[in-house]
């Protein structure tokens, strides 16, 4: 793996983890049940983000950027 791919993979992974943490914080602020579901089922947090774009838009943008970086590093 060349250094550029390694950097993209590392930064993309940290962006995905950061977006999940921000989504978890927002969902806990909104409702206890959503926060618990986000903690136990991480893919569900992005479903919450789609339903609550007003609160979670920046986190979804960060997740899309992280996914793009990881896919560029792998592909």
pLDDT digits (tens, 9 = 90+) for 30-65: 888 888 988 898 888 888 889 889 988 999 999 999
pTM for this entry: 0.87
Structure tokens at 25: 């914080």
pLDDT for the residue 17: 94
Higher pLDDT, 52 or 75: 52
The rounded mean pLDDT for the chain is 91
**32-63 burial: b if 16+ Cβ within 10 Å, else e:** eebbebbeeeeeebbebbeebeeebeebbebb
């Amino acid at each position: 793996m060349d250094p550029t791919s390694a950097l993209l993979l590392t930064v993309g992974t940290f962006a995905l983890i950061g977006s999940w943490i921000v989504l978890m914080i927002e969902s806990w602020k909104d409702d206890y049940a959503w926060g618990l579901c986000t903690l136990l089922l991480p893919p569900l947090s992005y479903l919450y983000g789609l339903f609550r774009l007003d609160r979670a838009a920046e986190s979804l943008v960060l997740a899309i950027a992280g996914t793009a970086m990881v896919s560029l590093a792998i592909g």
